[in-house]
């Protein structure tokens, strides 16, 4: 959860590191909305996934110890 807090705090600042104003926040929301509409209009799909889903499943560590002949 620590990473979500850091990403939340980053969204408070614009690209130049300045604290966002309510106007700049609305501009970002408007741009995002426009981009999403364009994505959907071009045939894109938005898929909702569960919060606990990971991109890469956990893998068992692979050990090569003792695998080479003497």
What does the alpha-carbon distance between residue 65 and residue 67 come to, in Å, rounded to a whole number?
6
Global pTM value: 0.48
Q: What is the pLDDT of residues 16-64, one digit of tens each?
A: 777 778 888 888 899 999 999 999 999 999 999 898 887 887 888 888 8
**Residue 40 to residue 34: CA distance in whole angstroms:** 10
Q: How does DSSP classify residue 67?
A: -
More confident residue, 13 or 28: 28
Say what the pLDDT of residue 45 is: 94
Contact 29, 22 (CB under 8 A): no
- Choice between 68 and 11, residue whose per-residue pLDDT is larger: 68
């Amino acid at each position: 959860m620590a990473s979500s807090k850091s990403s939340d705090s980053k969204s408070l600042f614009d690209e130049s590191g300045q604290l966002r104003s309510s106007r700049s926040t609305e501009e970002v929301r408007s741009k995002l909305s426009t981009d999403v509409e364009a994505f959907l209009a071009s045939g894109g799909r938005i898929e909702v996934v569960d919060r606990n889903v990971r991109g890469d499943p956990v893998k068992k560590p692979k050990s090569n110890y003792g695998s080479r002949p003497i």
